[in-house]
Chains A and B, each alone.
Chain A
Amino acid sequence: MSEAVLTTHKLCKRFGALSATDDVSITLLPDEIHAVIGPNGAGKSTLIQQICGSLRPDSGRVELLGRDISIFDTAARARAGIARTFQVSQLAMEDTVLQNAVLGAIGSRGISWRMWRNAQQTPTLIARADTALERVGLIEHRDTVCANLSHGQRRQLEVAVALTLEPKAFIMDEPMAGLGAEGSKTLTAFLDGLRLEAPILLVEHDMDAVFALADRISVLVYGKVIATGSAAEIRNSAAVREAYLGDAT
């Protein structure tokens, strides 16, 4: 088996009596989409925050390409190669689509100390931003102010900004949230191809998308991974049915 791109080792996080993350060990292998599913309050968001560095675990560690990044802050993890998309879009709403994409290029290249050259006339930044916008289909909206975008377009821009980072791994927190059937289908097709660039850790509620995309699925219940396996294995697992899928039917 090839070496994991991203690994969490026995992550634990407690909030008082509540165990939000309980000994979670997950690996993200090259070229795969690894979906994390679970009922509301299962600790999916807490897990993402610990991977991306916005929340410190009580114990356990996170490794990227074999390197322990547990002591890195969010910015350092982003530069090391972790690209995160947010469940609720986090964008510079007063800025244009292009500026948001250029921001990703600035951050990942670590050139935010440059104070003289016009960022939106710097060919290397523009090229990277335009490529990302082109790929998610937002290129014709590049001069639109973000606040005037539709919800779906904002979701696309979230993905585009992640692309500008040219990351080692994507962490996507419900990228389909609020998208219509058509939008979900387009994004599903896009993510399907994206996994060959960098593997994706996908937290998603849209089960059609999860079963269509995921090479492996981990089921999180009360902060514990109760099963990891292929889509077929998860579907047929009695424990999962009882704990999670069973609730839905």
Chain B
Amino acid sequence: MRIHETAVNTAVLLALLSVPAFAWWTDEPFTITLATRAAVLALAAVGLNILLGIGGLVSFGHAVFFGLGGYAMAILAFHAQNYTELNLGIGVIDGTNSMPVIWLVAIIVSAITACLIGLLSLRTSGVYFIMITLAFGQMFYYFAISWSTYGGEDGVSIYVRNQFPGLNTLDPIQFFLLCFGLLCFTLFVTARVQRSAFGVALNATRQSRARAEAVGLRPVRLQLVAFALSGAITGLAGALFADLNRFVSPSMFSWQLSGELIVLVIIGGVGRLIGPVIGACVFVALEHLLGGLTEYWHIALGAILLGIVLFGRGGVLGLLTGQDGARV
């Protein structure tokens, strides 16, 4: 079974790589942009999958981290593009248009916020956990709307994509490869974490909290670390998403986006390494193919989701490999 799943994993990543490669050859930059969108959404969902799939915690507020990553990029790049200083209260810094620096800031801010949200929300469980994470999401959303320095409701446009040493990031295929590379790296890290002592403990905590405590594990501590890791990855994806569109708006914080991330994970296969990637590819493909025909394409997405929830809990990956649930 495991070999089989490895084969699926490789095939999915090759497919995601071959589409833009072909588009590059035939000179269709829009298709490359679509593939980049899929890779970035996949990365965001890979983050959520750690918390949702392995940890069993349904966060309905993951857009917080996506938005924080986006705004980390927007704020730093905004000051760089306007040659203004950024006052942090404790000191004044310059903006930057260096992607690695922006990513680092996005990751750190998201991880710290995830810890704080986790500390409060992990005191609850079930529906209350879903509601409290949703509430945090809405808090950030309304804050972003009223934050006039950075465009308020209108958001911020960044005219030139940020820089990565040695690459021309405005070239679609180079930017795609950068995002794809980060996705592959994150998948590798996630796979290691999933099989580590921490992964085994977190996965067991989801299945039986009493068992975890009885062997000397502290569920909340494990879940908090998962929250931080999960938020950091989704935050990184947010920074990439902002650079992809060269635009950031409060909609990155919206609860619809939190919902979409959950949908991506469920379509692909909850708790499975490559599940979110499949989910993101299916989502972007449907959005593009059906979205061109009708603006009601979400109906088709809804039908697929319904089918998966009713008949195939393991998502697309469950259908392919004949098993569902998280594997460590």
Which B residues lie within 8 Å of A120 (CB)? 195, 200
Q: How far is the CB of A171 from chain B (nearest CB, A)?
A: 10
Q: How far is the CA of A119 from the CA of B203 in the complex (A)?
A: 13
Is A212 at the interface (CB under 8 A from chain B)?
A: no
Q: Do B216 and A110 touch (CB < 8 A)?
A: yes
Q: How far is the CA of A95 from the CA of B326 in the complex (A)?
A: 9
Interface size, A (range)? 35 or more
Chain B 198-224 interface mask (CB, 8 Å, partner A; 1/0)? 111101100110111111111000100
Chain B 137-170 interface mask (CB, 8 Å, partner A; 1/0)? 0000000000000000000000000000000000
* Closest chain A residue to B324, Cβ basis: A94
Which of B200, B201, B207, B326 gathers most chain A CB within 10 Å?
B200
Q: Do A107 and B217 touch (CB < 8 A)?
A: yes
Q: How far is the CB of B212 from chain A (nearest CB, A)?
A: 7
Q: Do B216 and A107 touch (CB < 8 A)?
A: yes
Q: Do B215 and A106 touch (CB < 8 A)?
A: yes
Q: Do A112 and B197 touch (CB < 8 A)?
A: yes
Q: Do B208 and A107 touch (CB < 8 A)?
A: no
Given A92-B207, A95-B328, A74 and B214 contact (CB-CB distance below 8 Å): yes
B210: which of A90, A95, A113, A118 is its contact (CB, 8 Å)? A90
Q: Do B207 and A93 touch (CB < 8 A)?
A: yes
Q: Do B197 and A119 touch (CB < 8 A)?
A: yes
Which B residues lie within 8 Å of A111 (CB)? 197
Is B181 at the interface (CB under 8 A from chain A)?
A: no
Is A84 at the interface (CB under 8 A from chain B)?
A: yes
Stretch at the interface among A5-13, A14-22, A96-104, A226-234: A96-104
Q: Do A119 and B207 touch (CB < 8 A)?
A: no
Q: Do A75 and B198 touch (CB < 8 A)?
A: no
Chain A 193-237 interface mask (CB, 8 Å, partner B; 1/0)? 000000000000000000000000000000000000000000000
Count, A-B residue pairs, CB within 8 A: 112
Q: How far is the CA of A112 from the CA of B201 in the complex (A)?
A: 6
Q: Do B210 and A86 touch (CB < 8 A)?
A: yes
Q: Do A78 and B216 touch (CB < 8 A)?
A: yes
Given A95-B203, A108-B216, A90 and B211 contact (CB-CB distance below 8 Å): yes
Chain A 56-99 interface mask (CB, 8 Å, partner B; 1/0)? 00000000000000000111101100011010001111110001
Number of interface residues of B (CB under 8 A): 27
Q: How far is the CB of A229 from chain B (nearest CB, A)?
A: 30
Which of B196, B197, B204 gathers most chain A CB within 10 Å?
B197
Given A103-B204, A115-B192, A90 and B214 contact (CB-CB distance below 8 Å): yes
* Closest chain B residue to A88, Cβ basis: B210
Interface residues of A in 90-142 (CB under 8 A from B): 90-95, 99-100, 102-104, 106-108, 110-120, 122, 125
Q: Do B328 and A99 touch (CB < 8 A)?
A: yes
Is B135 at the interface (CB under 8 A from chain A)?
A: no
Given A92-B203, A94-B207, A95-B207, A165 and B328 contact (CB-CB distance below 8 Å): no
Which B residues lie within 8 Å of A108 (CB)? 215-216
Q: How far is the CA of A76 from the CA of B213 in the complex (A)?
A: 9
Is B307 at the interface (CB under 8 A from chain A)?
A: no
Chain A 147-186 interface mask (CB, 8 Å, partner B; 1/0)? 0000000000000010011000000000000000000000
Q: How far is the CB of B155 from chain A (nearest CB, A)?
A: 36
Is B325 at the interface (CB under 8 A from chain A)?
A: yes
Is B11 at the interface (CB under 8 A from chain A)?
A: no
A95: which of B198, B204, B216 is its contact (CB, 8 Å)? B204
Q: Do A114 and B197 touch (CB < 8 A)?
A: yes
Q: Do A112 and B328 touch (CB < 8 A)?
A: no
Chain B 217-243 interface mask (CB, 8 Å, partner A; 1/0)? 110001001000000000000000000
Which A residues lie within 8 Å of B200 (CB)? 95, 99, 102-103, 106, 119-120
Closest 5 CB pairs of A and B: A107-B215, A78-B216, A107-B216, A79-B216, A92-B204
Excluding A92-B211, A115-B193, 10 further A-B contacts by CB distance (< 8 Å) are A52-B214, A83-B214, A91-B208, A92-B208, A99-B328, A103-B201, A107-B212, A107-B217, A115-B198, A116-B192
16 A-B pairs whose Cβ atoms sit less than 8 Å apart in the complex: A52-B214, A74-B213, A78-B215, A86-B211, A92-B203, A106-B217, A111-B197, A112-B217, A115-B196, A116-B193, A118-B195, A119-B197, A119-B199, A120-B195, A122-B197, A164-B215
Query: Which residues on A are within 8 Å of B, measured CB to CB?
Result: 52, 54, 73-76, 78-79, 83-84, 86, 90-95, 99-100, 102-104, 106-108, 110-120, 122, 125, 161, 164-165
